[in-house]
Amino acid sequence: MFQINVLPVLVLACSLSLPAFAEQADREKPMNITADNCNFDQKTSKSICTSNVVVVQGSMTIRADRLVISQDADGNQFAQGEGKPVRFRQKLDKSPDWLEAESLRFDYDSKKGFLQLFDKAWVKKGQDVVVGDHITYDLKTELYQATSNPGGRVNITIVPKAKEEKPQDGKSTQ
């Protein structure tokens, strides 16, 4: 849903599967948009909002300086945003964790199921963090792809899951 300018040639790419399991019920909830300024064209189903933009849909919240949201005839939603930075936060299904992300620009396409974050981007799930100049998240396959501008590097931090303690008889204590 977010539109980002194409980055220069990318030299470092890394794919990492970090399941997110975002709240599925959020997609069925109404979307509320607040901003200092907003224009809505009902014929084209396009909104352009600027200054202190906050979008809330269920547990999902997006904060941006500028946001363009549209919807096609089939109900697919598209959004492009920019900010210093844009912030995204959503509760995860069956988990106490939140999916959090930040970048200077983003592009979301619900039809393709892609969220792209551009420029100074990072995504955090629990204590795991992916940082890069361009991060693409495929909502269908739950696969991240992080890339860096020439001379830059991708940084991924994966925190090991706590192991369950087992007594000497092999049975779990929890």
Kindly report the CATH number assigned to the domain that includes residue 136.
Answer: 2.60.450.10
For position 141, what pLDDT does the model report? 81
**Residue 117: per-residue pLDDT:** 96
What pLDDT sits at residue 155?
Answer: 92
Q: What is the mean pLDDT of each run of 10 residues along the chain (174 residues)?
A: 25 30 61 93 93 91 95 90 94 81 93 92 91 89 88 92 69 59
Look at the chain and report how many structural domains it folds into.
1
pLDDT confidence of residue 25: 60
Asked if the structure places residue 84 within a domain, the reply is: yes
Report how far Cα 119 is from the mean position of its chain's Cα atoms. 13
Q: Which domain holds residue 148?
A: 12-157
Task: Give 129's strand partners.
Answer: 124, 157
Decide if 140 is inside a domain: yes
65 belongs to a structural domain: yes
In a domain, residue 2? The reply is: no
Is 132 among the domain residues?
yes
pLDDT reported for residue 11: 22
Q: Which residues of 152-167 are buried (b: 16+ CB within 10 A; e: fewer)?
A: eebeeeeeeeeeeeee
- Alpha-carbon distance 95 to 86, whole Å? 24
Residue 169 lies in a domain: no
Half-sphere exposure at residue 5, Cβ-oriented, CA atoms within 13 angstroms: 6
Report yes or no on 167 lying in a domain: no
Q: Is residue 170 part of a domain?
A: no
E strand or H helix that includes residue 159: none
Q: Report residue 173 CA to chain centroid gap.
A: 37
